[in-house]
Amino acid sequence: MYDRILLATDGSPTADRAASHAVALARQSGADLHAVYVIETRTAYDNAIVDPETVRENFRTEGETALTTVANRASPELAVATAVRDGVPHEELLAYVDDHDIDLVVMGSKGASAFKTVLLGSVTEAVLDAETVPVLVVDGPDGQGE
């Protein structure tokens, strides 16, 4: 049914639950599994307080850790293609879908930062609104996002 599944992760508990579903679906369907972490670039930092490059490197490390966790969960029987991308999260995810001919996106209902969601909008909602590919939305551990 699915040949290429994309897991969108931000390392949150909800994304971890989504990862469990994505890995199980990929195993059941024999699909290739891709996992992507996007570093949000629309958030500015005051250079007098925080070095933006330090923040970006911290996010990159966080992303690599989240992706390694997914790959470890899937191995040894399932290889995972991973990517850390910079940009507007939903735009980067949708571009990845197009670039890799993804036929299912699996993502959490709510990300790591409720504050960013209020300011920037829901990544999940934006991916759903694009209507380019089926999206499986997984609730958080409490059944209601985070």
Whether the per-residue pLDDT at 64 is higher than 90: the answer is yes
* The Cα angle at residue 38 between residues 102 and 120, in degrees rounded to 5: 110
Neighbours of 42 (CB within 10 A): 10
Q: What mean pLDDT do residues 48-69 have?
A: 85
The answer to whether 17 and 44 have CB atoms below 8 angstroms apart is no
Q: Does a structural domain hold residue 123?
A: yes
Q: What mean pLDDT do residues 113-119 have?
A: 45
Over the stretch 77-90, which tens digit does the pLDDT of each residue have? Answer: 899 999 999 999 99
Residue corresponding to tokens 């990929």: 26
pLDDT value of position 62: 92
What is the CATH classification number for the domain harbouring 74?
A: 3.40.50.620
Q: In this prediction, what percent of the chain has a pLDDT beyond 90?
A: 58
Instruction: DSSP for 35-57, please give it.
Output: EEEEEE-S----TTTS-HHHHHH
Q: Does a structural domain hold residue 105?
A: yes
Q: Does a structural domain hold residue 131?
A: yes
Q: Does a structural domain hold residue 43?
A: yes
Residue 67: give the domain boundaries: 4-138
Q: Does a structural domain hold residue 145?
A: no
Nearest to 33 by CA among 41, 24, 42: 24
**Count of domains in the chain?**
1
Q: Which residue has the higher pLDDT, 1 or 114?
A: 1
User: Rounded to whole angstroms, how far apart are CA atoms 82 and 65?
Assistant: 11
Q: Does a structural domain hold residue 35?
A: yes
Q: pTM here?
A: 0.85
Q: What mean pLDDT do residues 53-77 have?
A: 90
Q: In this prediction, what percent of the chain has a pLDDT beyond 70?
A: 84
Q: Does a structural domain hold residue 146?
A: no
Binned at pLDDT 50, 70 and 90, residue 142 comes out as low
Q: Does a structural domain hold residue 144?
A: no
